Amino acid sequence: MAKRKTGADWRDLAIAATEGSQFGAILHCALGRDKPAPCFHGKAIVTSDGFVQCNFTDSNGNARHMAFVGSAEDLARNGAGLARHLLLGSEATEELRQALQSWIATDYRSGKTGIRF
């Protein structure tokens, strides 16, 4: 397996690799980085049926309270895929997972908590 270039912080690489995508907007929010609209704001929740919601501002500046983001499974899958794409080591992969996990304020799923990859 190829090694990732050193010197660049994984956060910067992750933002660059996902720029213009929904997952990129999620990462901006989860990492506490400002981004012009469209963008997510604040913390997300996971509903009892496994879907992620978060406050969102669309490209016209319209605020959407608890907008649908996608499934928690997709969020975890995207995080794992990004870690593989960027060739992140175990420490950086765990930091990415923790950043996504800390973005979620409350997980209402019964018996399932946390983002795992």
Checking if the pLDDT of 13 tops 60, the result is: yes
Residue with tokens 């609209």, as numbered in its chain:
37
Give the Cα-Cα-Cα angle 83, 81, 72 (nearest 5 degrees). Answer: 110
- Please determine, for residue 47, whether its predicted confidence score (pLDDT) is greater than 90: yes
Residue 74: the pLDDT is: 97
Q: C-alpha distances in angstroms, 114 versus 29, 64, 82, 107, 111?
A: 17, 24, 18, 7, 10
Q: Which of 37, 39, 41, 13 is nearest to 25 (CA)?
A: 39
Tell me the per-residue pLDDT of 54-69, one tens digit each, with 9 for 90 and over.
Answer: 999 999 999 999 999 9
